[in-house]
Structure 1
């Protein structure tokens, strides 16, 4: 890990993950997975929860059906998972500690984007409820031509839409799946979370337990132009 590669650098763009990075929604995904599996009479293990973290919801639905030994339930579990997750988020939309402050600082010196494995409408809704949507020029999610994380596609597309090279872009991520995607895209990676694995530590350039860390907030604040007029307006949005 080489924290100085970020700490002494100003990125040309910053791309954030959403679940677990901007929004405190990873717990909602876990609760939704547990609720759906239990509704089918299955009890998920701790190992399952770790394996499912960060996966695209369709891949998660397939994994759930495989764990239950019922691949025929994939479609039903996937639909139930997304419906349950949306209900949980709507009831308790909460940002991760330090995330709003970092976003509002970063948008004053670089274009921002979100690269997420969630459906577009879920990301839009979460960011809207958090009052952060206007800070992001683009939201990139998997589609017919863009593969989900851990493939690098969503990050490569985000950099392209922001008009910068991946090597000049900072990715902010909390999951193993997402860090693999960002590193695979050739970006520098700020990892966030309490207990990084050895592989996550090796892939991330800088790891912090929370975006509230004074070093992170100080790094972003030091890059705000002295005469900044405030948050930049977004240039567009990904359809």
Structure 2
């Protein structure tokens, strides 16, 4: 725990934009298993250290990377398709939230605009959050171009489409999410678990809370604050003070599910101050 109050904790955001995989949803292990299954389906062996290099990478870029690193560039399309199919099957069987994610989202829901900015297709994000009972808390979902609908509003009748949104680490999805929430990027907070996502949010002008095991100091310092999980006491206490007026609740989850189905996990939580 920090011995003094980090500067970020003296600021109040007007909107919060979350990453999905590894931040809200415990899906990184599903992506890893999906990569392994896709490699196996084509008779390939995963290159050493590939899991770390693939973390946070857009799934289509990951498919191309899988093909390149196995010296099979002609398999890029097939590997990408197999990767997504295996992932969707795995997450449907076991939709778990990251430790503290449901608690943190519930605390913020209805108090200020919430959005998701993800490198995954909109279908993946919507269904993952729906299965976990969290979809209704988010006014907007923003994903890169070429991954289906680029933004998904919580009310289907007002679904929007944005063109030419590049994936993280480009700033596009975070900049668009802040704009859709009606705030300037510098007034929004991003919540991220990967360096790819942290870089995207910083380039868009958002302040950033990193979540998960603390990385090397130089990487951790790219975030304004690093927490081990979203139920870190100092983070919850800080968020409990935020208010920007009421936000109309969205309808229930499109994909079904109930908040009670979300797993809160059991890891201990703490806050690390960046230098």
Output the TM-score relative to the length of structure 1: 0.91
Is residue 52 of structure 1 aligned with residue 54 of structure 2? yes
Give the 3-state SS of the residue equivalent to 1:102 in structure 2.
helix
Partner of 2:115: 113
The equivalent residue for 1:129 is 131
CA distance in 1, matches of 2:48, 2:37: 14
* Structure 1 counterpart SS, 2:116: strand
What RMSD, in angstroms, separates the aligned Cα atoms of the two structures? Answer: 1.9
SS in 2 for 1:203: coil
Q: Deviations over 1:76-119 (max 9, x none)?
A: 00000000000000000000110011111122431000000000
8 A contact 2:15–2:189 mirrored in 1: yes
Structure-1 separation of matches of 2:175 and 2:242: 24
Deviation digits for residues 44-91 of structure 1 (CA, Å, limit 9, x no counterpart):
245211110011110000000011100000000000000000000000
Q: Any idea what SS the aligned residue of 2:120 has?
A: coil
For residue 44 of structure 2, what is the aligned residue in structure 1?
42
User: Is contact 2:214–2:220 with CA below 8 Å preserved after alignment?
Assistant: no
Tell me which of 171, 195, 200 is aligned to 1:181. 200
State how far apart, in whole Å, the 2-side matches of 1:108 and 1:185 are: 24
The answer to whether the aligner puts 1:162 opposite 2:181 as a matched pair is yes
| Alignment CA distance shift 1:29-1:3 (3 Å) | farther
Aligned residues: 231
CA distance in 1, matches of 2:26, 2:45: 23
In the superposition, relative to structure 1, how do residues 202 and 9 fare at CA in structure 2: closer, same or farther (>3 Å)?
Answer: same
User: Alpha-carbon deviation of 1:217?
Assistant: 1.6
SS in 2 for 1:194: coil
Given the alignment of the two structures, is residue 233 of structure 1 paired with residue 235 of structure 2, yes or no?
A: no
Q: Is the CA contact (8 Å cut-off) linking 1:105 and 1:224 kept in structure 2?
A: no
Q: CA distance change for structure 1 residues 111 and 80 in 2, over 3 Å: closer, same or farther? A: same
Higher helix content, 1 or 2:
1
Map 1:1-239 to 2 at 5 A: 4-143=6-145, 144-223=163-242, 232-234=248-250
Q: What are the Cα deviations for residues 208-239 of structure 1, in whole angstroms up to 9, with x where unaligned? A: 111121111221123358xx88x74149xxxx
Which ranges of 4 or more aligned residues in structure 1 deviate by more than 3 Å? none
How far did residue 6 of structure 1 move?
Answer: 2.2
- Aligned in 2, Cα 1:75/1:3: closer, same or farther, shift over 3 Å? farther
**Runs (5+) with no aligned partner, structure 2:** 146-162, 252-275
Aligned to 2:261: none
Q: Counterparts of 2:51 and 2:109 in 1: how far apart (Å)?
A: 33
Give the TM-score normalised by structure 2.
Answer: 0.79
Task: Could you tell me which runs of 5 or more consecutive residues in structure 1 were left unpaired when the two chains were aligned.
Answer: none
Deviations 1:118-163 (A, max 9, x none): 0001101011111111110100000151000010000000001011
Question: Partner of 1:181: helix, strand, or coil?
Answer: helix
